[in-house]
């Protein structure tokens, strides 16, 4: 079974039993702004459950963050941007398949908008200034990418990226790309990984601080 690489210092600090850590992301690692502009309004508000597909590093953390967003019905970890035949962890980890680790978010647009999901995505779920990687994970499968599910999402995502750039919301250029690609669910052992393994060293070091940041920076979106 493939194992997510964890820095040796983190494994030592966490201990064999996976003792919880209390580390937070330093500014040099997060590169996140203190505030983000509001997302552009949606021209036509959709009705019924909608789907968003977002990639931003390890899908464990992305999934864990969006599971705590009000109006989100479900989150599934998986792969987007490559073909079905190679949409598995072993192949994607080779960094040759074109996939990105991504999450499929089913949400209720009456409770949370696509723009608000993007606000969380850029604000706390990952660092959109990192190119082909997030924190200790390097390679194009960990890239920052948005996979719009319709033209309205594509236009809104492009407009919001432009607004973030105009507002100088980050101290580095935004690396996030808008891409095409089908989403394929990941293996079952990846699903709900943060919820099922809260004491995991990788989760505590890199992902738990994102959930804490969601609660602090976007309390209007947070649900326990």
Tell me, yes or no, whether 6 lies in a domain: no
Tell me, yes or no, whether 8 lies in a domain: no
Tell me, yes or no, whether 222 lies in a domain: no
pLDDT in tens, 56-99: 999 999 999 999 999 999 999 999 999 999 999 999 999 999 99
Domain interval for residue 72: 34-217
User: Among 36, 58, 100, 118, which one carries the catalytic annotation?
Assistant: 58
**Cβ contact 68:220 at 8 Å:** no
Tell me, yes or no, whether 125 lies in a domain: yes
d(CA 59, CA 126): 10
The verdict on whether 58 is a catalytic residue reads yes
Confidence band for 151, pLDDT divided at 50, 70 and 90: very high
**How many other C-beta atoms are found inside a 10 Å radius of the C-beta of residue 121?**
26
Confidence band for 18, pLDDT divided at 50, 70 and 90: very low
Tell me, yes or no, whether 223 lies in a domain: no
Tell me, yes or no, whether 2 lies in a domain: no
- Which CATH number does the domain housing residue 73 bear? 3.30.1060.10
d(CA 67, CA 69): 6
pLDDT in tens, 105-116: 999 999 999 999
Domain count, the chain: 1
pLDDT in tens, 177-186: 999 999 999 9
Task: Say what the pLDDT of residue 20 is.
Answer: 32
Task: Say what the pLDDT of residue 43 is.
Answer: 86
Token pair for residue 84?
């079905």
């Amino acid at each position: 079974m493939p194992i997510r690489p964890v820095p040796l210092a983190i494994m030592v600090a966490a201990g064999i039993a996976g003792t919880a850590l209390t580390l937070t992301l330093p500014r040099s690692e997060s590169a996140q702004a203190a505030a983000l502009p509001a997302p552009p309004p949606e021209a036509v508000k959709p009705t019924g459950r909608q789907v968003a597909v977002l990639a931003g590093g390890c899908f464990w953390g992305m999934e864990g963050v969006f599971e705590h967003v009000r109006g989100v019905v479900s989150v599934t970890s998986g792969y987007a941007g490559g073909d079905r035949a190679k949409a598995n962890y072993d192949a994607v980890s080779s960094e040759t398949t074109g996939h990105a680790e991504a999450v499929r978010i089913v949400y209720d647009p009456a409770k949370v908008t696509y723009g608000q999901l993007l606000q969380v995505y850029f604000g706390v779920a990952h660092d959109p200034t990192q190119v082909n990687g997030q924190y200790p994970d390097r390679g194009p499968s960990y890239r920052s990418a948005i996979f719009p599910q319709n033209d309205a999402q594509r236009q809104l995502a492009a407009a919001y990226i432009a607004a973030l750039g105009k507002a100088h919301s980050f101290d580095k250029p935004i690396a996030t790309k808008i891409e095409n690609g089908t989403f394929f669910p990941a293996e079952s052992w990846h699903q709900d990984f943060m919820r099922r393994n809260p004491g995991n060293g990788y989760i505590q070091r890199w992902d738990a601080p994102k959930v804490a940041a969601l609660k602090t920076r976007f309390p209007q979106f947070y649900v326990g």
